[in-house]
């Protein structure tokens, strides 16, 4: 009762007449109406909203006040969001609740409601320690230590809080260092989209130091940053087997923490799937994809990306029959039409490759696979000038393949100049070596008038270079070479005859 009396007194003394939040009981007022219209995308800019509510240049100040009121109500309402709903994991619920309770402890302490504050601080500390919220635990322990030093004289409780505080301060120091190291490496990559040897060497030093720290400190944040940095560097250096090994270690570690959600651990399965797909291991990839599909909610970003990686794995390992099934599964989701343009375009390109495989008899046509509009696809010439990293390569390749297969020799001949300019401008780098070779092979088809023997003879030097260079497993080129070029070349040669056209 004493605690409740203290809290009630704090509320009463501050004379709270109105809680300024968004409330459905206020649906009639302008602020709530503004909120609903923003939520339903009825306004695309400030000018539209201003004209709807005021439409008088002299009332600009009133519109700014309306925006300020809505902003304040939104911020205040955040404190009342129900985090106990099923969409939040236990760790997320604990994170929000512990931070909210810490703020309440500070408010109660500041208004001299110390009994209520120490009671809440003690309960919250149990939760923050359970979920390894180190920074929150430190603030609570500092308050508890001070409370016993100044108001109870309880030496035993004081010393217990002091020892616990020093341990958490040490853990926080290690966590902070790990975050700093990870960010230091990542910002260099974000700036240049590659890491020089000097930065990579520094990253290796960071990793060695952090791995020693992880032997004495098992907190979530320290180990998360360490596993993330290792995975990032091994992926940059294309050490795919080490990426898989790192993911396995991370999965074992975080599965050992009862509060870590399957969705979080699923992030490491997701990275593992990408590496295994690049390695071309269909058996392992199929098992990991099944795990990802059951872990990630249908229609979410990782759900879509997992399907993309698995699709390419199936194409690279000759499991062509999986293609139409995956396309149907992805494109039939309710959320698909709301995805970004590049993702939608990527699955349209995948559909084109599957249709090509069907047209050359490498894949049986299924009744459930949506009819592909070939003529429309062939007439949509890629915007070569807008392509800076070869993202148009899969479109370029499949269009050439279709034109050869369909015997549209005039159209292909007309595109030779544009294709050669594109390859010269964008496909000169080492990462694009295989693509450059393959397109030069394809260009021999119209240049040699579609005669099979002549085409093979003139394309053979490029084929030999292609065979000497294994599939580049970097993320960008892996997603560009949808079907291994060697396989596609076999299909091209099969479609030619021994006549000049």
Average pLDDT over the chain, rounded to whole? 86
Task: Tell me what pLDDT residue 428 has.
Answer: 62
Query: DSSP per residue over 73-136, as a string?
Result: HHHHHHTT--TTSTTS-HHHHHHHHHHHHHHHHHHHHHTT-HHHHHHHHHHHHHHHHHTT-HHH
Alpha helices by DSSP H, 111-219: 114-130, 134-147, 155-192, 197-216
Distance CA 345, CA 314 (A): 19
At which residue do the structure tokens 């404190």 appear? 79
Strands (E), 346-389: none
- Give the residue-averaged pLDDT of 100-105: 95
Task: Tell me what pLDDT residue 390 has.
Answer: 59
Per the domain annotation, does 196 fall within a domain?
A: no
Quote the domain boundaries for residue 156: 2-167
Query: DSSP per residue over 393-426, as a string?
Result: HHHHHHHHHHHHHTT-HHHHHHHHHHHHHHHHHH
CA atoms within 13 A on the CB side of 142: 12
Per the domain annotation, does 279 fall within a domain?
A: no
Per the domain annotation, does 310 fall within a domain?
A: no
C-alpha separations of 86 from 14, 127, 300, 338 in Å: 35, 19, 16, 24
Distance CA 23, CA 446 (A): 69
Task: Tell me what pLDDT residue 469 has.
Answer: 79
**Helices 433-447 & 393-405 angle (0-180, nearest 10):** 30
137, 167, 197 - which closes a domain: 167
pLDDT tier for residue 406 given thresholds of 50, 70 and 90:
confident
Q: How far apart are the first and last CA of the chain?
A: 96
Residues paired with 451 in a beta bridge: 497
At which residue do the structure tokens 């495989």 appear? 357
Report yes or no: 440 and 460 within 8 Å, Cβ to Cβ. no
pLDDT tier for residue 141 given thresholds of 50, 70 and 90:
very high
For the cut 70, the answer to whether the pLDDT of residue 14 exceeds it is no
167, 187, 219 - which closes a domain: 167
| Cβ atoms < 10 Å from Cβ of 372 | 16
- Give the residue-averaged pLDDT of 144-166: 97
Per the domain annotation, does 326 fall within a domain?
A: no
Report yes or no: 318 and 286 within 8 Å, Cβ to Cβ. no
Altogether, the residues listed in the chain come to a count of: 501
Residue 457 neighbours by CB under 8 Å, 6+ apart:
none
| Residues of the chain above pLDDT 90, percent | 52
C-alpha separations of 405 from 150, 349, 355, 490 in Å: 86, 17, 12, 12
Report yes or no: 480 and 435 within 8 Å, Cβ to Cβ. yes
Taking CA 181 as the corner, what is the angle to CA 177 and CA 182, rounded to the nearest 5 degrees? 120
Alpha helices by DSSP H, 370-495: 374-379, 393-405, 409-426, 433-447, 452-468, 475-480, 485-495
Long-range contacts of 247-256 (CB under 8 A, 24+ apart): 247/271, 247/272, 247/275, 248/272, 250/223, 253/223, 253/227, 254/220, 254/223, 254/224
At 226, list the tokens: 């360490």
128, 149, 167 - which closes a domain: 167
Per the domain annotation, does 179 fall within a domain?
A: no
Task: Tell me what pLDDT residue 27 has.
Answer: 61
Per the domain annotation, does 364 fall within a domain?
A: no
At which residue do the structure tokens 């604990």 appear? 94
Distance CA 222, CA 224 (A): 6
Residues 245-287: tens digit of each pLDDT: 999 999 999 999 999 999 899 999 999 999 999 999 999 999 9
Number of domains the chain contains: 2
Per the domain annotation, does 336 fall within a domain?
A: no
Per the domain annotation, does 64 fall within a domain?
A: yes
- The residue with greater pLDDT, 210 or 360, is 210
Give which of 470, 473, 416 is closest to 445, Cα–Cα. Answer: 416
Task: Tell me what pLDDT residue 20 has.
Answer: 62
pTM, whole model, 2 decimals?
A: 0.83
pLDDT tier for residue 341 given thresholds of 50, 70 and 90:
confident
At which residue do the structure tokens 């046509």 appear? 365
- Give the residue-averaged pLDDT of 329-340: 90
Residues 435-470: tens digit of each pLDDT: 888 988 988 988 888 889 999 999 999 999 888 877
């Amino acid at each position: 009762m004493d605690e409740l009396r203290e809290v009630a007194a704090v509320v009463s003394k501050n004379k709270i007449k109105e809680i300024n939040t968004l409330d459905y009981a206020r649906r009639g007022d302008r602020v709530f109406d503004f909120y609903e219209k923003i939520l339903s995308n009825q306004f695309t800019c400030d000018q539209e909203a201003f004209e709807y509510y005021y439409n008088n240049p002299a009332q600009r100040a009133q519109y700014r006040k309306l925006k300020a009121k809505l902003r304040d109500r939104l911020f205040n309402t955040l404190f009342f969001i129900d985090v106990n709903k099923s969409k939040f994991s236990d760790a997320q619920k604990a994170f929000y609740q512990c931070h909210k309770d810490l703020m309440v402890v500070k408010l109660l302490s500041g208004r001299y409601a110390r009994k209520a504050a120490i009671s809440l601080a003690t309960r919250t500390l149990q939760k923050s320690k359970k979920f390894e919220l180190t920074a929150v635990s430190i603030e609570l322990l500092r308050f508890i230590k001070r409370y016993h030093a100044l108001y109870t004289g309880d030496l035993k409780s004081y010393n217990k809080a002091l020892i616990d505080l020093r341990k958490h301060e040490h853990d926080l120091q290690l966590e902070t260092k790990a975050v700093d190291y990870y960010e230091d490496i990542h910002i260099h990559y974000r700036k240049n989209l590659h890491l020089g040897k000097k930065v990579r060497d520094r990253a290796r030093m960071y990793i060695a130091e952090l791995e020693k720290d992880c032997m004495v400190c098992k907190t979530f944040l320290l180990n998360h940053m360490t596993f993330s940095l290792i995975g990032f560097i091994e992926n940059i250096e294309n050490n795919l087997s080490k990426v898989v090994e790192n993911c396995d270690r991370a999965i074992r570690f975080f599965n050992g923490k009862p509060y870590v959600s399957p969705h979080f651990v699923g992030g490491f399965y997701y990275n593992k799937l990408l590496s295994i797909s690049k390695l071309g291991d269909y058996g392992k990839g199929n098992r990991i994809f099944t795990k990802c599909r059951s872990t990630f909610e249908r229609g979410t970003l990782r759900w879509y990306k997992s399907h993309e990686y698995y699709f390419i794995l199936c194409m690279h390992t000759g499991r062509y029959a999986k293609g139409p099934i995956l396309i149907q599964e992805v494109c039939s989701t309710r959320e698909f039409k709301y995805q970004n343009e590049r993702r939608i375009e990527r699955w349209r390109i995948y559909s084109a490759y599957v249709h090509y495989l069907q047209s050359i008899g490498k894949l049986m046509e299924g009744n459930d696979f949506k009819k592909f509009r070939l003529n429309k696809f062939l007439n949509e010439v890629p915007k070569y000038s807008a392509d800076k990293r070869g993202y148009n390569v899969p479109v370029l390749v499949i269009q050439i393949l279709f034109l050869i297969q369909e015997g549209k020799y005039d159209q292909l001949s007309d595109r030779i100049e544009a294709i050669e300019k594109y390859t010269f401008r964008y496909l000169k780098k080492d990462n694009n070596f295989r693509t450059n070779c393959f397109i030069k092979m394809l260009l021999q088809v119209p240049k040699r008038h579609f005669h099979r023997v002549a085409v093979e003879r003139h394309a053979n030097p490029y084929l030999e270079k292609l065979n000497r260079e294994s599939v580049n497993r970097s993320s960008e080129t892996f997603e560009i070479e949808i079907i291994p070029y060697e396989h596609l070349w076999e299909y091209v040669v099969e479609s030619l005859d021994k006549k000049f056209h």
